[in-house]
């Protein structure tokens, strides 16, 4: 078996037999159908070439260096027939069996081809090239790989191998995590550190699990537990995992991964005002320890089981608004591709740790992902659109139950309106497309004078039609059309980004996505006129409302340019529209008393109110989340990712290397997503559990077991402890995908509880402590810093959920965001409840590597900048909180500076000052005030670090 040799060659230590049969049997070894091409040519021509003896040596000697098992330049490897059939980044097959002339291999080997192939070393001899050509002509016979098609893709990537439970290494410890860690440490001649001081353990546990330091009560309980530290620690673990603070912290980690934010991004960056229910859904799911497989399912197909908020996941990323997309076909298609691309990246990187997004333009350069796979994934989400959807649940049910009553109320007002109209003998209101018929008259020109619009905004019409009378020779037609030669004019037109010209009145187009209205330059009276080509007998005028509706107007005609204008029609006997915002006094109605006008205006107001209430209740509570159309458009593979280059239709599916769906267009749209969710959460999926377990580990220790948490592909880093990762993932599934069980396993290990002090010898071997010879201390994230400051100052507001508070003076829109500097109670909530604006660096905390939600951020950078110092030392927020902190210290201690110094340390650092610290700091308090001590304590590394 050639492939088996290959695996063992490229991945020593891997069991080739296991890997081949377990990874390949599912996806492609079953259809043992020889390719048609081979079938044809193997019979058509005699095989005169022996691959093993004549071809393999050429490829090995001249090509493998760049296109072999180790390296795949241009995304092609010459040791796999399917790869050569597919071709590399160029998209051209390297071999087309039977057709050397179409085989890129032959083309690039030609003497004058640029760049020369092979680029280094001797060129191939003519004889060698002839040999390759003949081999291709005869069908590129390749013993052992003839059953593989171009689309068959195999991989020896570690993360795609089946998940098994590795044996726990033997050792002194009974805790499997410690056993795995110790085994690696032993191999590096290192040792795990002794247990950390109890208070260090407690602080670490609190900060990692909840993002808040322990309170004085926590500290008391822990330090004075009658049954000792181990018991106290175990109780703290339970207490913290049960606390709502846990979900608030860990939800942020997930929001980072998917770059969730509450604005759309790009230049308009408008608010998504109802995005927050998704954030609450994540927090609640984590707090409830919702099994992770369920967590995945709901975010992909939550609509099928009434979990609407979960679908905020799919549309977490930025997306340009339709109005910001060009009106040319290319721009519209590109925008659709871009918004679906965000979805594919979110799903594939978030859940699968695969960078499928890289295959948008070509086969993945490094991982076994085909361009086809990208579009197959796109097919799963082809029905998706960005926007708001109904948020089902208790609130929705209540609203629905209130609906009939609201509808009744509306009906009453509408009845009253009809009665008024009848009583006053008024005609029907002006329609959006208003048709006015009149006895035929002969007209050269027609004009409309608008003196009021329904909302007071400038007069505006989309189209203005003048119809000839039915008994003229040519039948009835719109003679106002510019195409008939009529000439429009108007008192003015607005200068706006798009055309608002009066030519729009007679262009014959009323499609609001394509056409534009005429809009007058300003509010107030305006007129438009149409000069017909010749005097024509007309009998009807139709006008289409534009950005406003005319509610007071006259329609007039004249027979020639020097004749008087004659009235055709006006609105003085028309019932005012419901949306007419004019006051009773300004209603221009003939033969209607002031009292009745008032009644009409009041009735309109009541109708508007009642209608908006009915609409609100009927549409239900809203959440910004993915919506889906039942019959999605077909998905096309695109040449080089160019939306104008459709190459072939692709069925919805997952990457070939992971298996195959059998879904066709007949299935309802949701079946596609359900199929994906079920596949991702099958117990033998190689990626899903590994990916999440690694993420969780990362947020405990600062580094994941693999350092590239959203990329378990070949460009990602190899895991430091592959067996531990697999053991955790395997047992995670066994524990019913419970995240809390996983946390418990980790924090109860001695590895987690060990000391954090550096050691010169160990630093020299493993500076980052990736082998965990110590617990590596690290600076807290921006959110934890803000929350910790507030908790320490005593101002933290623990209100849970709902619409977020603002960090800026606006919640969305064009850039130029002014930060809020002084907060009150409402802004002292945990930072996860801050309204998240995309691409806007948060005041003060942005410099602490708070992600901007532009690109996915599965792992935050950790920089140290002077801006951090300025922000934490000088900002209004920091100094005010230092003041509150000082007040709190004063209230909680004796009047002595000694007692205050001690209390400040206890609250901020969970410990008393050392003697020398005490001396120095008490003097600071005496000379410069307690507030200065409070200010610097919140700036200390000790306060800012997870110890």
Partner 1 sequence: MKNIPCPSTATTINRRRVLSGVSGGLAGIAMHSLLAQTNGDATGNGRSAKKKAERPVIDPAKPYEQRPSHFEAKAKNVIVVFCSGAISHVDTFDFKPQLIKQHGKPLPGNEKLVSFQGPNGNLTKPLWNFRPRGESGKMISDLVPHIGGMADDICFLHSLTNKSNTHGPAENVMNTGFTFDGFPSMGAWINFALGTENQNLPAFVAIEDPRGMPQSGPNNWAGGFLPAAFQGTPLSTTKPIRYLNRPPEITAEADSEARKAWRFLEEQRQQRFKGDQQLAARVASYELAARMQLHVPHVMQVSDEPAHIRKLYGADSANGTKAAFANNCILARRLVENGVRFVQLFNGAYASGGRLNWDAHSNLKTQYDTHGEILDQPVAGLLKDLKQRGLLDSTLVIFATEFGRMPMFQAGTFGRDHNPLGFTCWLAGAGVKKGFSFGSTDAFGFRAQENILTAHDLHATILYLLGLHHQELNVYHNGIQRRLTDVHGKVIHQLLA
Residues 874-893 that bind partner 1 (CB under 8 A): 874-876, 879
**SS3 state of residue 770:** coil
- CB within 8 A of 803, min separation 6: which ones? 273, 276, 835
Residue with tokens 């998209």: 91
- Residue 458 Cβ, how far from partner 1 at the closest point, in Å? 15
Q: Single out the residue of 94, 275, 785, 933 in contact with partner 1 (rule: CB under 8 A).
A: 933
Q: Single out the residue of 287, 840, 881, 900 in contact with partner 1 (rule: CB under 8 A).
A: 840
Smaller CB separation from partner 1, 649 or 863: 863
Q: Single out the residue of 445, 604, 871, 893 in contact with partner 1 (rule: CB under 8 A).
A: 871
Q: Single out the residue of 846, 884, 885, 893 in contact with partner 1 (rule: CB under 8 A).
A: 846
- Residue 511 Cβ, how far from partner 1 at the closest point, in Å? 12
844 lies in the binding site for partner 1 (CB under 8 A): yes
**Interhelix angle 371-380/329-347, nearest 10 degrees:** 90
- Residue 848 Cβ, how far from partner 1 at the closest point, in Å? 7
- Residue 351 Cβ, how far from partner 1 at the closest point, in Å? 14
Rounded (to 5) percent helix, strand, coil in the chain: 45, 10, 45
Q: Which two tokens stand for residue 541?
A: 């005028």
Range 759-788, binding partner 1 (CB under 8 A): 760, 763, 767-768, 777, 779
Range 211-270, binding partner 1 (CB under 8 A): 259, 265-269
Sign of CA dihedral 295, 297, 300, 303: negative
Smaller CB separation from partner 1, 419 or 715: 715
941 lies in the binding site for partner 1 (CB under 8 A): yes
Smaller CB separation from partner 1, 71 or 238: 71
- Give the per-residue contact string, 357-386, with partner 1 (x = CB under 8 A; - = no): xx-------xx-------------------
- Residue 194 Cβ, how far from partner 1 at the closest point, in Å? 15
Q: Single out the residue of 548, 847, 900, 910 in contact with partner 1 (rule: CB under 8 A).
A: 847
Q: Are 166 and 727 in contact (CB under 8 A)?
A: yes
Residue with tokens 């109209």: 421
CA distance 672 to 437: 53
Q: Single out the residue of 648, 715, 826, 912 in contact with partner 1 (rule: CB under 8 A).
A: 715
* Cα dist from 844 to 151, 796, 849, 864, whole Å: 51, 17, 10, 13
404 lies in the binding site for partner 1 (CB under 8 A): no
- Residue 224 Cβ, how far from partner 1 at the closest point, in Å? 25
Range 268-307, binding partner 1 (CB under 8 A): 268-269
| Phi and psi torsions of 495, nearest 5° | -95, 110
**SS3 state of residue 445:** strand
Q: Is 498 exposed, middle or buried (0-12, 13-18, 19+ CB in 10 A)?
A: exposed
Radius of gyration for the alpha carbons in the chain, expressed in angstroms and rounded: 36
**Cβ neighbours around 560 below 10 Å, total:** 11
- Residue 585 Cβ, how far from partner 1 at the closest point, in Å? 34
Range 891-920, binding partner 1 (CB under 8 A): 914-917, 919-920
**Paired residues of 698 in beta bridges:** none
**Paired residues of 465 in beta bridges:** 542
Spell out where 559-634 has E strands: 566-570, 622-624, 627-628
Omega into 254 within 30° of 0, i.e. cis? no
CA distance 689 to 693: 6
β 622-624/646-650 pair status:
unpaired
The stretch near partner 1 (CB under 8 A) out of 425-433, 456-464, 884-892, 937-945 is 937-945
Q: Single out the residue of 39, 495, 594, 618 in contact with partner 1 (rule: CB under 8 A).
A: 495
CA distance 890 to 897: 9
The stretch near partner 1 (CB under 8 A) out of 19-27, 632-640, 679-687, 832-840 is 832-840
**SS3 state of residue 797:** strand
Range 301-340, binding partner 1 (CB under 8 A): 318, 320, 324-328, 331, 334, 338
446 lies in the binding site for partner 1 (CB under 8 A): no
10 lies in the binding site for partner 1 (CB under 8 A): no
Q: Single out the residue of 514, 585, 662, 895 in contact with partner 1 (rule: CB under 8 A).
A: 514
Residue with tokens 């001396």: 919
Polymer length in residues for the chain:
947
Range 339-358, binding partner 1 (CB under 8 A): 349, 355, 357-358
Applying CB under 8 A, what is the total number of residues that bind partner 1? 115
CA distance 100 to 79: 19
Smaller CB separation from partner 1, 73 or 671: 73
Smaller CB separation from partner 1, 411 or 863: 863
**SS3 state of residue 554:** strand
- Residue 936 Cβ, how far from partner 1 at the closest point, in Å? 4
Range 652-691, binding partner 1 (CB under 8 A): none
Q: Single out the residue of 757, 802, 894, 912 in contact with partner 1 (rule: CB under 8 A).
A: 757
Range 38-77, binding partner 1 (CB under 8 A): 71, 73
* Cα dist from 120 to 58, 79, 107, whole Å: 14, 19, 18
Smaller CB separation from partner 1, 200 or 396: 200
Smaller CB separation from partner 1, 297 or 773: 773
Residue with tokens 């290959």: 6
Smaller CB separation from partner 1, 303 or 367: 367
816 lies in the binding site for partner 1 (CB under 8 A): yes
Sign of CA dihedral 392, 395, 396, 398: positive
618 lies in the binding site for partner 1 (CB under 8 A): no
**SS3 state of residue 691:** helix
């Amino acid at each position: 078996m050639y492939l088996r040799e290959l695996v063992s060659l490229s991945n020593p230590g891997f069991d080739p037999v296991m890997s081949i049969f377990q990874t390949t049997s599912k996806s492609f070894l079953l259809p043992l159908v020889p390719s048609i091409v081979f079938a044809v040519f193997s019979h058509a021509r005699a095989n005169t070439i022996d691959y093993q003896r004549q071809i393999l040596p050429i490829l090995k000697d001249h090509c493998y260096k760049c296109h072999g098992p180790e390296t795949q330049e241009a995304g092609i490897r010459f040791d796999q027939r399917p790869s050569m059939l597919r071709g590399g980044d160029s998209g051209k097959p390297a071999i087309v069996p039977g057709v050397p002339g179409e085989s890129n291999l032959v083309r690039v080997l030609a003497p004058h081809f640029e760049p020369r192939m092979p680029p280094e070393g001797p060129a191939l001899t003519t004889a060698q090239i002839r040999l390759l050509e003949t081999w291709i002509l005869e069908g590129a016979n390749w013993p052992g790989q003839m059953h593989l098609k171009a689309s068959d893709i195999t991989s020896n990537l570690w993360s795609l191998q089946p998940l098994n439970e590795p044996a726990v290494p033997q050792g002194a410890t009974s805790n499997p995590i410690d056993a795995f860690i110790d085994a690696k440490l032993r191999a590096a001649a290192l040792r795990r550190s002794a247990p950390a001081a109890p208070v260090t353990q407690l602080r670490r546990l609190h900060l990692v699990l909840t993002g808040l330091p322990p309170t004085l009560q926590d500290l008391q309980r822990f330090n004075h537990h009658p049954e000792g530290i181990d018991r106290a620690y175990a109780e703290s673990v339970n207490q913290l995992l049960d606390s709502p603070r846990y979900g608030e912290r860990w939800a942020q980690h997930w929001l980072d991964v998917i770059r969730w934010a509450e604005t759309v991004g790009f230049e308009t960056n408008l608010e998504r005002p109802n995005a927050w229910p998704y954030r609450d859904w994540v927090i609640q799911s984590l707090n409830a320890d919702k099994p992770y497989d369920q967590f995945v399912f709901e975010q992909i197909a939550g609509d099928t089981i009434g979990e609407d908020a979960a679908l905020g996941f799919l549309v977490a990323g930025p997306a340009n608004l339709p109005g910001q997309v060009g009106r040319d076909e290319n721009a519209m298609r590109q925008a659709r591709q871009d918004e679906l691309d965000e979805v594919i990246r979110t799903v594939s990187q978030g859940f699968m740790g695969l960078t499928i997004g890289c295959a948008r333009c070509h086969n993945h350069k490094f991982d076994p992902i085909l361009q086809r796979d990208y579009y197959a994934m796109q097919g799963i989400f082809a029905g998706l659109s960005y926007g708001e959807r109904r948020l089902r649940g208790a609130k929705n049910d209540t609203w629905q139950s209130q609906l009939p009553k609201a509808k009744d109320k509306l009906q009453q007002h509408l009845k009253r309106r009809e009665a008024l109209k009848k009583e006053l003998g008024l005609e029907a209101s002006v329609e959006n497309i208003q048709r006015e018929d009149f006895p035929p008259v002969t007209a050269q020109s027609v004009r409309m004078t608008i003196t009021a619009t329904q909302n007071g905004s400038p007069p505006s019409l989309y189209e203005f039609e003048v119809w000839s009378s039915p008994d003229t020779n040519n039948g009835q037609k719109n003679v106002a059309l510019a195409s008939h030669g009529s000439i429009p004019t108007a008192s003015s037109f607005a200068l706006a980004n798009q055309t608002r010209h009066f030519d729009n009145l007679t262009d014959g187009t009323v499609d609001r996505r394509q056409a534009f209205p005429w809009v007058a330059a300003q509010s107030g009276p305006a007129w438009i006129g149409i000069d017909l080509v010749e005097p024509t007998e007309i009998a009807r005028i139709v006008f289409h409302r534009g950005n406003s509706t005319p509610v007071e107007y006259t329609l007039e005609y004249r027979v020639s340019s020097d004749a008087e204008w004659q009235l055709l029609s006006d609105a003085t006997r028309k019932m005012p529209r419901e949306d007419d915002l004019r006051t009773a006094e300004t209603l221009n109605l003939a033969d209607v008393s002031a009292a009745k006008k008032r009644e009409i205006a009041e009735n309109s107001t009541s109708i508007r109110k009642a209608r908006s209430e009915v609409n609100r209740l009927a549409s239900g509570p809203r959440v910004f989340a993915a919506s889906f159309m039942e019959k999605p458009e077909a998905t096309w593979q695109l040449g080089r990712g160019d939306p104008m280059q459709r190459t072939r239709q692709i069925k919805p599916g997952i990457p070939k290397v992971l298996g195959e769906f059998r879904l066709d267009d007949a299935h309802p749209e949701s079946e596609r997503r359900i199929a994906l969710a079920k596949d991702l959460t099958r117990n033998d999926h190689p990626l899903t559990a590994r990916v999440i377990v690694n993420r969780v580990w990362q947020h405990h220790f600062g580094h994941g077991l693999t350092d590239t948490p959203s990329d378990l592909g070949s460009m990602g880093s190899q895991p430091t402890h592959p067996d531990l990762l697999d053991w955790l993932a395997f047992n995670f599934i066994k524990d019913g995908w419970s995240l809390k069980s996983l946390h418990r396993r980790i924090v109860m290990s001695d590895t987690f509880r060990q000391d954090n002090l550096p050691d010169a010898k160990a630093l020299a071997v493993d500076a980052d402590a990736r082998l965990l010879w110590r617990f590596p201390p690290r600076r807290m994230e921006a959110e934890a810093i803000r929350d910790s400051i507030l908790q320490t100052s005593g101002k933290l507001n623990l209100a849970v959920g709902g619409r977020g508070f603002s960090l800026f003076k606006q919640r969305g829109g064009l850039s130029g965001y002014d930060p809020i500097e002084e907060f009150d109670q409402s802004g002292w909530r945990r930072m996860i409840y801050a309204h998240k604006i995309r691409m806007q660096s948060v005041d003060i905390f942005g410099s602490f590597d708070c992600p901007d939600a532009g690109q996915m951020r599965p792992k935050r950078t950790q920089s140290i900048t002077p801006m951090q110092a300025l922000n934490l030392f000088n900002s209004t927020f920091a100094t005010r909180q230092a003041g509150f902190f000082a007040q709190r210290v004063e209230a909680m201690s004796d009047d002595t500076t000694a007692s205050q110094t001690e209390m400040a340390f206890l609250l901020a650092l969970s410990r008393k000052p050392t003697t020398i610290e005490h001396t120095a700091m008490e003097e600071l308090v005496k000379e410069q005030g307690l507030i200065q001590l409070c200010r610097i304590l919140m700036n200390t590394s000790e306060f800012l670090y997870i110890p």
